[in-house]
Amino acid sequence: MLPCLRCCIALFASLAVSAGVSAAVVLQEDFEDGMLDPRISVSTVGTFLDAPGITSFSSIEGANAFGFGRSVNRFNSFHRYVTNLIIDLGSPTFVESLSFDEMEVFGNWGSRGEVYVDGVLLDPSPSFGRSPYNDFISDTTFRSHTFAINGLASILTIQVWDITDLSEIYIDRIAVAGGSVPGEVSLPSSALLAVPPLLFLVWQQRRKGRIVNVRGAGLLLLADA
Ligand SMILES: [Ca+2]
Ligand SMILES: [Ca+2]
Ligand SMILES: [Ca+2]
């Protein structure tokens, strides 16, 4: 019986390991093909001098990036001049994190970025764009951000607001990680059928004094294997 018990042990150990597998990539966009992933859309508030969209920009990665645009306005733009890059995952999906690189060019006057999950600003509030906020100096290199989400989400919104005519934030290498819920494992039917015999074997081996320790999710150590 011991070999069967070993098989069950291996099954449980592999399931325990698979539960801890690092998150998969749900979405990646580097803008190099000139097209937005079909799950990405853009909305704006206000009128733009330089419309948001994919544009030739090689200071982050490759030849293209996404620019949030420059508005026709110079002062008090706030929420009257806004661009949203919207990632619609279609249904509630486990999202571990959202990451991207960004930099602010053409000077720095206005333009601040924030991330919303299903319409709610991430807490603590993340922000991106050059700091200090309005120092009139263009970035010479990009910043990398990874925002932890660790929950179910359908829509991720990367928003830049207070867009003036004197600066523009560019973004590249967007990645959404997640796709499965840590700790939840979908058992195949064969694994489910193995559970009752395993319980019996564990009971039997425990009676024989062979099981000396039980750790975590089903990882058993035997005294006499
Ligand atoms: Ca790129
Ligand atoms: Ca693309
Ligand atoms: Ca700024």
CA of 147 from ligand 2 middle (Å) equals: 21
What confidence category does residue 14 fall into, taking pLDDT thresholds of 50, 70 and 90? very low
CA of 31 from ligand 2 middle (Å) equals: 4
Q: Where are the beta strands (DSSP E) in 46-142?
A: 48-50, 53-56, 64-67, 70-71, 82-105, 112-117, 120-121
Average of per-residue pLDDT values in the chain: 82
Count of alpha carbons within 13 angstroms of residue 190, beta-carbon side: 4
Say yes or no: 172 and 216 in one domain.
no
What confidence category does residue 214 fall into, taking pLDDT thresholds of 50, 70 and 90? very low
Give this prediction's pTM: 0.74
Say yes or no: 193 and 161 in one domain.
no
- 122-138: pLDDT as tens digits: 977 768 999 999 999 99
What confidence category does residue 54 fall into, taking pLDDT thresholds of 50, 70 and 90? very high
Say yes or no: 7 and 39 in one domain.
no
Ligand closest to CA 113: 3
Say yes or no: 16 and 28 in one domain.
no
Ligand closest to CA 166: 3
| CATH code for the domain in which residue 55 is found | 2.60.120.200
CA of 167 from ligand 3 middle (Å) equals: 7
CA of 160 from ligand 1 middle (Å) equals: 19
Is the pLDDT reported for residue 97 higher than 80?
Answer: yes
What single DSSP character describes residue 21? P
CA of 210 from ligand 2 middle (Å) equals: 57
- 186-206: pLDDT as tens digits: 455 455 455 555 555 545 665
CA of 60 from ligand 2 middle (Å) equals: 15
Say yes or no: 82 and 60 in one domain.
yes
- The percentage of the chain sitting over the pLDDT mark of 70, rounded to a whole number, equals 70
CA of 65 from ligand 2 middle (Å) equals: 10
Say yes or no: 121 and 138 in one domain.
yes
Say yes or no: 91 and 196 in one domain.
no
Q: Residue 215 belongs to what domain range? A: 2-20+183-222
Say yes or no: 156 and 209 in one domain.
no
Residue 124, pLDDT score? 76
CA of 62 from ligand 2 middle (Å) equals: 12
DSSP 3-state of 122:
coil
Is the pLDDT reported for residue 225 higher than 80?
Answer: no
Say yes or no: 117 and 200 in one domain.
no
Residue 174 CB neighbour total at 10 angstroms = 22
- The percentage of the chain sitting over the pLDDT mark of 90, rounded to a whole number, equals 67
| Domains contained in the chain, number | 2
Residue 13, pLDDT score? 39
